[in-house]
Amino acid sequence: MARIIFDLDGTLIDSAPDIQAVANGVLGAEGYSPITLEQTRSFIGNGAPTFVARMRAARDIPDSEQDRLLTAFKIGYVSAVELTVIYDGVVQALNTLRDQGHRLGICTNKPFAATEAILSHLDLTPLFDTVVGGDTLPQHKPDPAMLFAAADALGEGPVIFVGDSEVDAETARRADLPFLFFTEGYHKTDPASIRMTASFDSYADFVELVAQTLPKS
């Protein structure tokens, strides 16, 4: 059976509204105007430090404030769960894959504590055999070390990585692994420019796409 590893934000869940709320809480406490949902989506993908750096740049906040605002952002991030939703068809697809004997993992640049919190809130924790967060290792995506760590934790078998962004595509490229691209997530460029094995816009046919991607025995 296969090891199927998923990105989280923009791939399995739409968490942008919660992330926006946390960001705007931090900005508001500092006297700055809020960022939009569109800006929030465009800042997601490279982990919390990069998100905060992009948020600061959007409001001309100096670099010297990075660490302090990142700390405040991370504190809010852990409890930011109420506005996040699971994409349609995800739970059914994940359960079907598990029933087929596949092992599932998460590889996300989201901080580990925030990842655990949202998975628990959405009752997704039991579906995954391993979770690698953005601060689990010194490296984060697109460095493939996170993806390799998740794969190693899942044992043996072919590996597929599933994500929604340019960062995920580059991670898969560096790891030399098949990449299934979810087009409805937080990508920032034309999907035609993204290196992928295949793409999908709905989880309705995802299980079949996995079967098509796996090596034929």
Residues 50 and 64 sit within 8 Å (Cβ to Cβ): no
The one catalytic residue in 7, 9, 18, 164 is 7
Interstrand relation of 13-14 and 85-86 (parallel, antiparallel or unpaired): antiparallel
E strand or H helix at 35: none
Residues 187 and 31 sit within 8 Å (Cβ to Cβ): no
Interstrand relation of 3-6 and 13-14 (parallel, antiparallel or unpaired): unpaired
Question: Is 60 assigned a catalytic role?
Answer: no
Counting DSSP H helices and E strands in the chain, the numbers are 9, 8
Looking at the chain, how many residues does it have? 217
Catalytic residues: 7
